[in-house]
Amino acid sequence: MSPKNKTGSPKTSDHKKREDANIDHLLKQTLKDDLPVDAEAVMKNQLEGFRLKLEEASGRTWAGQKTFQAILNLMDVRWARILVKKEVVLVISLMMIVLGSFIHSSGSPNQLTENLSVLGTSVVVSNEMIRSQSMECSIQMYGDNQEPLHYAIQWLSPNLSKVHVEDSRNAPLKTIWISEEDIVIDDHITDRRFEKKISTQLDDPILKPIVGYLEPEELVERMYGEWKLLKYQKQKECAQGIFAIALSDERATLEVTLDLCTHLPVSIKKILHGEEFGEERVIFNVRYTWNIPISPQSLAPTQILENPKG
Catalog residues that contact another protein under the rule CB under 8 A: 56, 59, 61-64, 86, 89-90, 92-97, 99-101, 103-104, 107-108, 110-124, 126-127, 223-229, 232, 263
Measured from the CB atom, is 159 or 262 closer to another protein? 262
Measured from the CB atom, is 91 or 189 closer to another protein? 91
> Rounded to an integer, what distance in angstroms lies between the CA atom of residue 199 and that of residue 75?
82
User: Are the C-beta atoms of 267 and 128 separated by less than 8 Å?
Assistant: no
> Rounded to an integer, what distance in angstroms lies between the CA atom of residue 267 and that of residue 189?
30
Measured from the CB atom, is 37 or 63 closer to another protein? 63
Measured from the CB atom, is 73 or 121 closer to another protein? 121
Which amino acid makes up residue 215? E
Which amino acid makes up residue 94? L
User: Are the C-beta atoms of 247 and 253 separated by less than 8 Å?
Assistant: yes
Nearest approach, Cβ of residue 45 and another protein (Å): 21
3-class secondary structure, 150: strand
Nearest to 142 by CA among 273, 287, 269, 246: 269
Count how many Cα atoms sit within 13 Å of the Cα of residue 213 in the half-sphere of its side chain.
Answer: 26
Q: What is the largest CA-CA distance in the chain?
A: 148
- Consecutive H or E run containing 198: none
